[in-house]
Amino acid sequence: AQTVTQSQPEMSVQEAETVTLSCTYDTSENNYYLFWYKQPPSRQMILVIRQEAYKQQNATENRFSVNFQKAAKSFSLKISDSQLGDTAMYFCAFMRDFGNEKLTFGTGTRLTIIP
Amino acid sequence: DVKVTQSSRYLVKRTGEKVFLECVQDMDHENMFWYRQDPGLGLRLIYFSYDVKMKEKGDIPEGYSVSREKKERFSLILESASTNQTSMYLCASSFGPPEAFFGQGTRLTVV
């Protein structure tokens, strides 16, 4: 079974600063996907960024980037130039690259951006 | 855009009631999921379905059942609601890796 661990229940950072959210996972699979989802107060889960395990290059989406360390089973999210709209719960998630697969989530990090 | 719609955003039910949470998706996805979200526990999978009339238990199926009579609709059923089932419930759908799409969530309170 896969497990996903987020060890930072809460974080806060000043607006315009950079913040890094941590995530580790455990799996015996070689082919899988890793995700960061954002859940703002509206409760809608929004995909922030996705990483394919077979890709060595770290994924980036505008101000969001990941540091994917496959051997260490680590997948951190870096948010640059943080904005008030980044205030949300952030969930790290894992999905095997196999058939009808489900997402396995971490416990989440509540991020607050301070004006 | 993919749309996953949950029938209610907020629901208040009494202990012992039979409760139905409905989820509809409009993208012909084979896979549909019900998750429960609690503070400090993240999202935990209750049940999922990979085809009409097919279902599989997730990590916390006790006290719940599901129904999928049509491809686009996946219902979560609380046969006899209890206060420990007060939670946020999230539905999702996908056609397989690498993505899933979520509804807006139903906050259920059992009193």
Q: Which pLDDT score is estimated for A98?
A: 77
**Whether residue B106 has pLDDT greater than 70:** yes
- A107 vs B41: CB contact, 8 Å cut-off? yes
User: How close, in Å, is residue B37 to chain A by CA atoms?
Assistant: 9
- B98 vs A98: CB contact, 8 Å cut-off? no
- Mutation target to probe the A interface, by most A beta carbons within 10 A, among B31, B102, B104, B107 is B102
Is it true that the peptide bond before B98 is cis, omega within 30 degrees of 0? yes
Q: What angle do CA A52, B61, B68 make, to 5 degrees?
A: 80
Instruction: Confirm or reject contact between B43 and chain A (CB < 8 A).
Output: yes
Confidence grade of residue B96 (pLDDT, cut at 50, 70, 90):
confident
Q: Are B96 and A100 spatial neighbours (Cβ–Cβ below 8 Å)? A: yes
Query: Which residue type does B106 have?
Result: T
- Mean pLDDT confidence for B19-38: 95
- Using 70 as the pLDDT threshold, list the residues of chain A that sit under it: 99-100
Query: Which residue type does A87 have?
Result: T
Cα separation of A75 and A105, whole Å? Answer: 13
Confidence grade of residue B99 (pLDDT, cut at 50, 70, 90):
confident
Cα separation of B91 and B76, whole Å? Answer: 9
**Whether residue B1 has pLDDT greater than 80:** no
Task: Give the 3-state secondary structure of residue B86.
Answer: coil
- Mutation target to probe the B interface, by most B beta carbons within 10 A, among A44, A95, A102 is A102
Query: Which residue type does B77 have?
Result: I
**Whether residue B57 has pLDDT greater than 90:** yes
- A97 vs B97: CB contact, 8 Å cut-off? yes
- Mutation target to probe the A interface, by most A beta carbons within 10 A, among B43, B47, B66, B94 is B43
Closest by Cα among B46, B73, B41 to B57 = B46
Distance set, CA A81 to CA A19, A63, A85, B59, B110 (Å) = 9, 7, 11, 38, 42
Place of tokens 């999702």: B92
User: How close, in Å, is residue A97 to chain B by CA atoms?
Assistant: 6
Instruction: Confirm or reject contact between B11 and chain A (CB < 8 A).
Output: no
Place of tokens 């059942």: B65
Q: Which pLDDT score is estimated for A73?
A: 96
Closest residue to A44, CB basis, from B33, B41, B104: B104
Q: Which pLDDT score is estimated for A100?
A: 66
Distance set, CA A105 to CA A14, A50, A102 (Å) = 27, 14, 10
Cα separation of A68 and A24, whole Å? Answer: 10
- What percentage of chain A reaches a pLDDT higher than 70? 98
β-bridge pairing A3-5 and A24-26: antiparallel
Tokens representing A46 are 């929004």
- A45 vs B90: CB contact, 8 Å cut-off? yes
Tokens representing B24 are 């509809």
Q: Which pLDDT score is estimated for B78?
A: 97
